[in-house]
Amino acid sequence: MTENTDEKLAAPTYPFATLPPEPTLAKPVRVLVLGGGFAGLEVCHQLDDPRYAITLIDRQNHHLFQPLLYQVATAGLAGTDIAQPLRSILSEQKNVTVLLDDVQQCDLDAGQVRTKHQTLGYDYLIIALGAVTGYFGHDEWARHATGLKSLNDALMIRRQVLGSFEEAERLGSEPHDEALLSMIVIGGGPTGVEMAGSLAELSRQVLPGNFRRINPAEAKVYLIEAGPRLLPAFSPELSEYTRQRLENMGVTVLLNTPVQAVEAHTVKLTDRTLRARTIVWAAGVRANPLTSTLKVPTDRAGRIAVAPDLSLPGYANVFAAGDIVSLKDPKGVVVPGVAPAAMQMGRHIAGVIKKDFTLAVKARGLPAPVPRAAYTYFDKGNMATIGRSAAVASAHGLSFRGFIAWLMWLVVHLLFLVGFRNRVIVLWQWMYSYFTYRRGARVIIGAERPQTEA
């Protein structure tokens, strides 16, 4: 446990001004968790005790393993392979009630959460609603450049990519828009690298041989990054290795290339304009828009500036966790928006809540101003996959690349994927793809017809 250090920084104290709710079976403490991602689920798991009556609200019925979403978008996996019903995950934990609903407003002063369908009270509230695709203030770009945050995003990209190849085959030698077989990925972080690599493999290794009139390998894949290198969270050597591997796979990597505007099938750069039927936005996220209504400090991306114990300033019984949080931890590390951090935060919050009640019980119901522990990020390392047998990883000062990093990536992602059934299926799909150079989910789904226009 690395989270409970440096207690002096932690400001908030025991949250209840008057008598605390008794942590008894007869009148359990009401814990309301918003969001069934890694953070929200971890809070639930850690509070597996009938004295806590947990309500978990999510607007999807499933927990989504976002790190593999790019493989759904590029036809390697089915949507259901990386999604697990929240009810099923929590079926054995009888103190959790899962509700499919849409959170619309949190009135922290009144202690109420309003959803699309009802209003709920709580003793503790955990806001773990995650992030959405962020367009740096240019929301109008969203129509033309699809983000990668939900299953519907992934299926939309899959439809666009596969639909473009289908249209090109239909047109054959007829003159057609050069944009048709071009794909642009904006953003050189892990998601952008993984997307671009996977699109290059799809067009170079998977699709050729399946078409008669076009050569899918001639499709252009661009990866556009505003900064000077890919994967800025890694060492410059790994960034350069990644760039070279992607270029060898057929990706055109453009560094120091800020995007000026995104229009229909068009990305405007400083000195030129690129056109593409498929444009994927992997350049940024911002917090769930709900944060703007909370009347608490947020950063530029809308993330909640939480107190060191992860509670909201002024609301000691309200916490935030996961991608929705902006925090520099006691060691001065800016906590990144990754799954391990979300899980650590969830665990920390559950610990704080449990400790609140230990103290309450000790004090025989009298609230005492005890400082809470601060959350400290434990960095397990970073990894990103580039393509077949190629990945980069860095952890605890060590760097890995190539096949060994790729194997590490496989093992870690299989372990973190929720559900034994899903693990077996994903492993099988990966083995199948590895040995046959095929992808198993090349199915255009979700629209009655292929969408030739975005």
User: Which active-site residues does the annotation give?
Assistant: 194
Contacting a copy of itself (CB under 8 A), which of 4, 88, 252, 389?
Answer: 88
Instruction: Name the residue among 37, 25, 28, 17 with its Cα closest to residue 337.
Output: 37
Question: What are the strands, taking DSSP E only, across 86-151?
Answer: 96-100, 103-107, 112-115, 119-121, 124-127, 131-133
The residue assigned the tokens 């009630």 is: 97
Among 4, 5, 13, 61, the residue binding a copy of itself under the rule CB under 8 A is 61
Instruction: Single out the residue of 2, 24, 210, 358 in contact with a copy of itself (rule: CB under 8 A).
Output: 210
* CB of residue 58 to a copy of itself, shortest distance in Å: 10
Nearest to a copy of itself of 334, 443 (CB atom): 443
Answer yes or no: are the C-beta atoms of 301 and 130 closer than 8 Å: no
Q: Could you say which residues in the range 151-190 bind a copy of itself, by CB under 8 A? A: 151-152, 155, 162-163, 166-167, 169-170
d(CA 378, CA 3): 8
Q: How far is the CB of 418 from a copy of itself (least distance, A)?
A: 12
Q: How far is the CB of 440 from a copy of itself (least distance, A)?
A: 5
CA atoms of 353 and 143, how far apart (whole Å)? 42
Residue among 1, 25, 27, 91 that touches a copy of itself (CB under 8 A): 91
If the CB atoms of residues 83 and 310 are measured against a copy of itself, the closer one turns out to be 83
Cβ-based nearer residue to a copy of itself, 397 or 435:
435
Triad 146, 218, 436: Cα angle to 5°: 85
Which of 27, 143, 213, 328: binder of a copy of itself (CB under 8 A)? 213
Size of the site for a copy of itself (CB under 8 A): 59
Nearer to a copy of itself, 92 or 109 (CB): 92
Burial environment of residue 114 by CB neighbours within 10 A (0 to 12, 13 to 18, 19 or more):
middle
Q: DSSP string of 8-68?
A: GG-----S-SSSPPP-SSSS-EEEEEE--SHHHHHHHHHT-STTEEEEEEESSSEEE-GGG
d(CA 299, CA 143): 25
Which of these ranges, 28-36, 53-61, 261-269, 382-390, lies near a copy of itself under the rule CB under 8 A?
Answer: 53-61
Applying CB under 8 A, the span of 182-190, 247-255, 408-416, 437-445 interacting with a copy of itself comes to 437-445
Site string for a copy of itself, 305-334 (x = CB under 8 A): ------------------------------
Cβ–Cβ < 8 Å for 400, 394: yes
Residue 225 has φ and ψ, to the nearest 5°, of: -130, 130
User: Which of 2, 102, 105, 334 contacts a copy of itself by CB under 8 A?
Assistant: 102
CA distance 113 to 272: 48
Contact pick of 16, 211, 378, 416 for a copy of itself (by CB under 8 A): 211
Q: Does 33 bind a copy of itself (CB under 8 A)?
A: no
CA–CA gap between residue 403 and residue 19 (Å, rounded):
58
Residues 6+ apart with CB under 8 A from 251: 196, 197, 199, 200, 221, 222, 223
Residues 166, 180: Cα–Cα separation, whole Å: 10
> What is the contact surface with a copy of itself in residues (CB under 8 A)?
59-62, 78-81, 83, 85, 87-88, 91, 94, 96-102, 117-118, 150-152, 155, 162-163, 166-167, 169-170, 207, 209-213, 421-422, 424-425, 428-429, 432, 436, 438, 440-450
